[in-house]
Structure 1
């Protein structure tokens, strides 16, 4: 299915209410309440694109039309952890605000004893259905900071659709690395508390493309940080942990915001530019390790494996002879001689008699 017209960008919005509400509540109770009761405010800023920050793709300069907006929430009242009182901003008490703002409201009751609801699964199923819809939807906005949606973004990208996510301080790097734009918690907080974005008065200008020298400098800075972290670690480091650390140390703009030095992904950057002594495993789950240290640690393991392989051969070779003759033992040096290409030491004549 291809887009048939050059009209406005057709956008769909999927809101994981509990995920966004609880994230905002940790920062500001007032902002969380306004998010729950004034959905019309922030949905307009999504429609204009003012609330979106382009990350891995250029910002869109076309008109945007929201054709589907759905809100998924838990219909069971939530209690405040501080005093066990009912949270009056939990979904069952605010769902009518979303209905009045034009949202399609979908109840996702808890299915387990841990009160885990099925909002994320319902969202995934609905996104999948829209990929085969008669209407070609250009953009999918997933208001959730849950990295479990990462495979969904990969699927949407394979269908050449644009993706926008909600991100906060704890959003995983693989999730932000695959999206085209972010609705950042800091911007949403500013809109909800102050009524406008901090940069709303500023005219947005297209960002100048970085030079080849600056891109190379960014790559070297990231690779240097990775090499230092791996050399200082006592064991191989998971790829995700390294990516997260680089974002925290170097900042979002130098890492995810710059598409990892223009390579597109963190793993592609490491595959191209790691130093000789730092290696990346070939198969998932991916780890990065110090090859020099690994070679030194592997030597005694090889000797142990050789000795373990030799011992069973002496017991298992010619079992009928083992019953009639006493078992002859060999010293480690004599057993390793064929492997090392050396001549075994001859036993004294008196011992052979």
Structure 2
């Protein structure tokens, strides 16, 4: 009887404590949720609500009505037929191979070249000159692919391009019809992509390097460590979390190709399709030819799901190796 009475007395007290804790929590953190609300609304409206459109991948869209919503409701469900079309196509293996291999090369080059330039910028003693170099290297990142395609064309034009007109004759080599010979583009595209984006990665890695306490290098110098030894023993280990995060983010988009790079820079030359056709350009061309929005949506959903799985897998591997360096 006494225990029941005591429980009856404690129950209201526990409710009061819970209510008090909830009030204090919202009084303490409510302002942060309020500040976060606009960004959350934009995120939900811009990123999550459009995900409903992924259902188009499982429909055979018709255009009988001027209303897209009505077309969506009236269109028949076709299940996995849109995915079957993409995977049974004769180009399926070719575009998947090109997309993965190109992006793998891009990831490696962005990591190695980006870190190398960040180290060189950090080693420059003249800070004004270093800022000038960083600015000049960052400039191509802001160029659109249209402008970049004309710059590349100025080099590779078969008749008046800089390479065929000046550089190759200087070495005694014959001019090359770059836009008809696909074997050169697995080299050209990674070079163009690296030139355009390396300033972005170099600045990020440089910011991580600058954050390292200089006392580590002073102690290493007193112990007789060379600059190369300092890089491998101090710099790389301390910026490893940034390297891992940047690499994981790029792995998540390994099934996505830069449409402008593969469409504009190559000038969509049919002779180059064996080495330049990727999932994004294939979907675009398929949609332009057939107008099949369902197949295009299926390819987009396929890219998103595989990218999500790759990020989870890569993060799991990193988590097994070093829990502190994992993205989540």
Q: So what's the TM-score if we normalise by structure 1?
A: 0.19
Bigger share in strand = 1
Larger Rg: 1
Bigger share in helix = 2
Greater relative CO (CA pairs within 8 A, separation 6+): 2
